[in-house]
Amino acid sequence: MTPSVPHNLISPPVLLAPLAGITDLPFRTLVSRFGAGRVVSEMIASGEFLTARPGTREKAELGAGIANTSVQLAGRTPDAMAEAARMVEGMGARVIDINMGCPAKKVVGGYSGSALLRDLDHACRLIDAVVGAVTVPVTLKTRLGWDDASHNAADLAQRAEAGGIAMIVIHGRTRCQFYKGRADWAAIRRIKDAVSIPVIANGDIIDTASARTALAQSGADGVMVGRGAQGRPWVLAQIAADIYGTARPAIPKGHALVDMVAGHYEAMLDFYGPDLGLRVARKHLGWYMDVAQTDAILRKAILTAKTPAAVLSALPDALVTDVRQAA
């Protein structure tokens, strides 16, 4: 049976959620630098991973062995999930996470992600296959249920715990909600009461206030932050400091913010190459400018820049208030 998750794997118990196309290695590295109990890789489809579709294998290889990183797998067949888990463990992964919560039509249509909430027997076959294939802890991320008529996450959690799952993350929505409405943190308490393994609350947790409320309503052992970290890679460390008394992060402002964003930008260029990196980075730059309240003209100039040099030269004007005011 897979070993329990050691306390230091979720200390502080503030985790970065896996977000496709967002929580790549450069962003996870930046969030970890500020302070996060655990970061989770972008979801890796086990079938694509095993057939080595270009770019998929690299996602797992780059960052798999970093100490506070979980590598997340999704799939629909036990054999493929088990083999992918063995390969990821061989690459150095310290924790493997199983995705049974992604609501995307492409994933659900492939009988993966949250589609597994409609067939708990099959979900448990996948869990058994992964747990039996590796020696590292295996965790699970899922939702409350498929829809409001089938909140069965507590049943899945109990069966998952019996199968060796070491920790479970619950997004407080059903699959059919996607990301609409509000996460139901209180509904997570039923899952927490059903198991003895750590339960982490996820969904709409963006700052200390929402984290405190989510913990109070759910009784969870920790929180997972997703979209709240966009443009604010320090927010996990800020929540951890406020709630768990960890070291308070130095939130960059002014030219320190420019240096941080420039460093993140250059890391993305190195990771993806200059052409793809220029395009992938735009969403992150947009989120940074949202936080900095950059005016529309400067924002457009950066997001339409054709070269990295043009982006880097425009960052001080876009992100530093006194520079904008002086102009």
pLDDT block averages, 10 residues each, the chain of length 327: 46 92 93 93 84 60 75 92 93 91 66 80 95 97 84 95 97 80 94 97 97 98 96 97 95 96 96 92 97 94 95 95 50
Q: What is the dihedral of CA 177, 179, 181, 184, to 10 degrees?
A: 80
Give the Cα-Cα-Cα angle 57, 61, 64 (nearest 5 degrees).
130
Q: Reply yes or no on whether 102 is catalytic.
A: yes
Is 1 within the bounds of a domain? no
Among 16, 102, 115, 278, which one carries the catalytic annotation? 102
User: Of the residues 205, 225, 244, which one is the last residue of a structural domain?
Assistant: 244
Domain containing residue 198: CATH number: 3.20.20.70
Q: What is the pLDDT of residue 46?
A: 86
Q: What is the pLDDT of residue 6?
A: 43
Please give the residue range of the domain that contains residue 284: 255-326
Please count the structural domains in the chain: 2
Sign of CA dihedral 91, 97, 100, 102: negative
- Residues 206 and 307 placed together within one structural domain of the fold: no
Structure tokens at 189: 């308490």
Cβ(16)–Cβ(224) below 8 Å: yes
Round to whole Å and give the CA distance between 57 and 91: 11
Round to whole Å and give the CA distance between 240 and 247: 8
At 139, the amino acid letter reads T
User: Of the residues 187, 213, 244, which one is the last residue of a structural domain?
Assistant: 244
- Residues 310 and 190 placed together within one structural domain of the fold: no
- Residues 156 and 111 placed together within one structural domain of the fold: yes
- Residues 154 and 283 placed together within one structural domain of the fold: no
- Residues 213 and 153 placed together within one structural domain of the fold: yes
Q: What is the pLDDT of residue 108?
A: 57
Structure tokens at 179: 């990301």
At 199, the amino acid letter reads V
- Residues 82 and 127 placed together within one structural domain of the fold: yes
pTM listed for this prediction: 0.90
